[in-house]
């Protein structure tokens, strides 16, 4: 007995492949990839000193006063 599918397998794979390509393109142009490729003096998310925003929600840090 076959299941009636609500989607196209090819489209699902194409979308996922497209996303993978975008992620890889972004990654190959990133600071982390540059550091891992031997480039020195690169600031990555792991060497971050976060003074401009205090959380990933984008909220700024409390004022100094």
Partner 1 sequence: MATTQTTLNTGLPPQSETDEARRIDGFVVSTALTSLALLAGLIGLEAPIDRVWLLFVGVGLGIALYHAAFGFTAGWRNLVLKRRSGGMRAQMLLLAIATVLFVPVLGFAETLGLTGISGTLAPVGVSLLVGSSLFGFGMQLGGGCGSGTLFTVGAGNLRMMVTLTTFIIGSVIGTMHLPWWLAQPGIDPVDLIAGVGVMPTLVLQLGALGLLAMWFARIERQHHGEVERAILQRPVGPWYTTLLKGGWPLLWGAIALALLNLATLLIAGYPWGITFAFGLWGAKVLQALGVDMAQWAFWTWDYPALALADSVLVNVVSVMDFGLLLGAMLAAGLAGRFNRASRRPLPARSITAAVIGGLSMGYGARLGFGCNIGAMFSGIASASLHGWIWFACAFAGSLAGIRLRPWFGLDQ
- Asked whether 53 and 60 are in contact (CB, 8 A), the reply is yes
Question: Which residue is associated with the tokens 């990654």?
Answer: 27
Helix or strand run (H / E) with residue 26? helix 9-28
- Tell me how far, at minimum, the Cβ of 30 lies from partner 1, in Å: 4
Whole-angstrom distance, CA of residue 53 vs CA of residue 14: 37
**Does residue 21 bind partner 1 (CB under 8 A)?**
no
Residues numbered 24-63 forming contacts with partner 1, rule: CB under 8 A = 24, 26-27, 30-33, 36, 43-46, 48-60, 62-63
Q: Which residues bind partner 1 (CB under 8 A)?
A: 1, 3, 5-7, 9, 12-13, 16, 20, 23-24, 26-27, 30-33, 36, 43-46, 48-60, 62-63
């Amino acid at each position: 007995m076959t299941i009636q599918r609500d989607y196209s397998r090819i489209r699902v794979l194409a979308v996922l492949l497209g996303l993978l390509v975008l992620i890889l393109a972004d990654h190959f142009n990133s600071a982390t990839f540059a550091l891992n490729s031997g480039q020195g003096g690169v600031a990555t998310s792991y060497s971050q000193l976060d003074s401009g925003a205090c959380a990933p929600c984008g909220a700024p840090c409390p004022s100094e006063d």
